[in-house]
Structure 1
Amino acid sequence: MSDATMSIDAARVELLLNELRLPGVKAIWPKIAAQSDKEGWPAARFLAALAEHEAADRTRRRIERHMVEARLPAGKTLAAFDFESTPMVSKAQVMALAGGDVWLKAGANLLLFGPPGGGKSHLAAAIGLALVENGWRVLFQRTTDLVQRLQTARLGLALEAYIAKLDRYDLLILDDIAYVSKDRDETSVLFELIAARYERRSLLITANQPFGEWGRVFPDQAMTLAAIDRLVHHATILEMNVESYRRKAALDRKRGPGRKPIHATPRELENAAD
């Protein structure tokens, strides 16, 4: 076969791959073709190598898209989470949750409770990151920000459509639910979201207050009980009642380099946070 004919064939392949929208194959086929010619591969092996590369490339690009849309805070990974400082949280259990296969398929929830600075948001974001890497779709939102969007949708008579749009996400992470103001309009749209996802799509919620104090979030007892009932029916609950990461870090800075951190007294923690 002449060089001119080979060039024409190669140009046709490039055009066809563009038309078929196979960018992964387009990028790699000359290299694989050269290896195939050199080693005398049968046609099936050549095609399989191209298909495997395209499948892997599509997976990579899909994860990249889902990572952008997840809006996860940067740097919050499971590798960076200090499990030693949170002995009540099982690392093995968290790693199992990071796979997502069991609880996300069942539309179950994950609830993280603990004081401010105890690592709830970090752990929630880290689990979300691992889930995206495992092929799930996740959206991380401060609860107050999402409630504002839900209210805007309600004013535009599009609340149902907006909540349905959130169904694309296997997991919706609501960070700091307790900071929602006790306003009937705000809490009612939040309740509608919880009710709409019940037993269909999963929620991961972080909260500073235990359930007994959720009357501060929802305006009446009936709504509070109904929201809690839907959230805990199929849920894993992690209690993180630990010393604040942020206060510990501030205390360590005040002690200076080279000194071994020790458990802080309440007065030390207050002084370090100032």
Structure 2
Amino acid sequence: MAAKRLAVLCIFLLPNTQFRQLRLAETAEELPQLLREAEKASWTYLEFLESITRYELAKREAKSLEKRMKWARFPFVKSLDEFELRGQNVLTARQLSQLRELSWLEQQYNLILLGPPGIGKTYIAIGLGLEAVYRGFHVYFATMGELVQLLKSEEYLNKSKVQLKRIRNADLVIIDDLMYMAMDQREANLFFHLINHLYERSSIILTSNKSPEEWGHLIGDQGITTAILDRLLHRVEVIHGGENEESHRMKNRKSIFSAEV
């Protein structure tokens, strides 16, 4: 017992800088408390080592998750558990369950969510993005307008360079409101080069209220349109929301008026 206490005391007396040099920064902060627990519970050497290892790994994962969430840049955070499946025909419960398994992401498939505004396309995309973040994947969310501005300003804005580097390195890129407006020749070229870079490196989720057949009119250049579609549709699941589907926002809206008696 005396030898054990001496060993614990020696560890306690080690400067925190040594733990930091070993990249055990979280353990360095918590070490006094861990040592008190070890002494109180009479942990064995193995139990003590297991405890500090679990603590360090748990803290590192929490920090990693926090960083992935920050880099994802979701406009809001709502899980798929909160999505109201009843009364909509975008996805069945079984389809949603299959998508949440993320096998499509592991196989680098793309998802295209089509349909009129307000049926939950963005909600589903963000929900799947959250699932991916929690599973350790790197995700990036951007509207089409934001993405085009990043691409156009990459040459002279360091902030755009940083964001596009994250996009190009992401496991999953979510592009919301694709083709909501026409692109000029330069924008179309820049967008093609991004899609070409992500092709078979990352998965992409696209939401749009226009079908791929209409994209050519908005891009203008049929050659670029064909090249973009060729890469997006090579490995893809296209999910259609009904044209007559009532807006998810309208069905789940909150009123300032109480229900009439």
Shorter-chain TM range is 0.7 to 0.9
Normalised by the length of structure 2, the TM-score is: 0.84
Is 1:107 the equivalent of 2:101? no
How far did 1:118 drift? Answer: 1.2
Task: Indicate the SS of the match to 1:84.
Answer: coil
Q: RMSD of aligned C-alpha atoms? A: 3.1
Moved more, 56-65 or 123-132: 123-132
| Structure 2 equivalent of residue 270 of structure 1 | none
Percent of paired sites with the same residue: 30
Task: Indicate the SS of the match to 1:149.
Answer: helix
Please, which runs of 5 or more residues in structure 1 have no aligned partner? 260-274
Task: Indicate the SS of the match to 2:80.
Answer: coil
Q: How many residues align?
A: 254
Paired letter, 1:226? A
Paired letter, 2:221? D
| Structure 2 equivalent of residue 135 of structure 1 | 136
1:187–1:217 contact (8 Å) kept in structure 2: no
| Structure 1 equivalent of residue 187 of structure 2 | 186
Q: Specify whether residues 128 and 165 from structure 1 end up closer, same or farther in structure 2 by C-alpha distance, changes over 3 A only.
A: closer
Paired letter, 1:210? S
Is 1:63 the equivalent of 2:65? yes
Please, which runs of 5 or more residues in structure 2 have no aligned partner? none
Taking the aligned partners of 2:32 and 2:107, their CA distance within structure 1 comes to 44
Taking the aligned partners of 1:231 and 1:50, their CA distance within structure 2 comes to 46
The answer to which structure has the higher helix fraction is 1
Q: Specify whether residues 9 and 50 from structure 1 end up closer, same or farther in structure 2 by C-alpha distance, changes over 3 A only.
A: closer
Q: Specify whether residues 103 and 85 from structure 1 end up closer, same or farther in structure 2 by C-alpha distance, changes over 3 A only.
A: same
Taking the aligned partners of 2:40 and 2:120, their CA distance within structure 1 comes to 55
Alignment of 1:1-274 (within 5 A): 10-100=12-102, 102-153=103-154, 165-241=166-242, 242-249=245-252, 253=255, 257-258=258-259
How far did 1:9 drift? Answer: 5.8
How far did 1:155 drift? Answer: 7.0
2:132–2:138 contact (8 Å) kept in structure 1: yes
Taking the aligned partners of 1:72 and 1:31, their CA distance within structure 2 comes to 36
Task: Indicate the SS of the match to 2:75.
Answer: coil
How far did 1:140 drift? Answer: 0.5
Moved more, 175-184 or 51-60: 175-184
Normalised by the length of structure 1, the TM-score is: 0.80
